[in-house]
Amino acid sequence: MEKTFLMVKPDGVQRNLIGEIVARFEKKGFQLVGAKLMSIPKELAEEHYGEHKERPFFGELVDFITSGPVFAMVWQGENVIATARQMMGSTNPKDAAPGTIRGDFGLTVGKNVIHGSDAPTSAEREIGLFFKDTGLVEYSKLVNEWVY
């Protein structure tokens, strides 16, 4: 089953949005297989956002993502990578449709509430970075017979 890495960013944690965000993915039918509240060390932040190293906002991005605890998660389900991106909405909340997480809860690109892997390769890479030590929880849910 496909897996993706999702993370409530420090602004989402401070604004008490963990439960709201978890609820959306649960209700959709996806299955939570890993989760932890954590502070991101600077080196992990720089590696996680490595693709943006040369961008002018890189320093700001690393400072923000390390500015407070995040809620890191792994979710699984059919087409979860692309569907979670749709549920998150556009990167810049001003362009994100109402009904999406960023559309409903964000105002600026710098504080856009949630991260989600954008492709199978990045999902695998990011799950490895954040859950290498913790591992994931494999379990079956009877409700899946009614989801699939």
**Total residues at interface with ligand DAT (CB under 6 A):** 9
Distance CA 33, CA 35 (A): 7
- x/- mask, ligand DAT, residues 7-46, rule CB under 6 A, reads ----------------------------------------
111 forms part of the interface with ligand DAT (CB under 6 A): no
Q: Residue 72 contacts by C-beta under 8 Å, 6 or more apart in sequence? A: 5, 6, 7, 34, 35, 36, 37, 38, 130, 131
Is 27 part of any known ligand binding site?
no
Q: What are the tokens at 93?
A: 């909340």
79 forms part of the interface with ligand DAT (CB under 6 A): no
Q: What are the tokens at 96?
A: 């994100």
Region 72-111 residues binding Mg ion, contact defined as CB under 5 A: none
Task: Mark the binding-site residues for ATP, compressed into ranges.
Answer: 9, 57, 85, 91, 102, 112
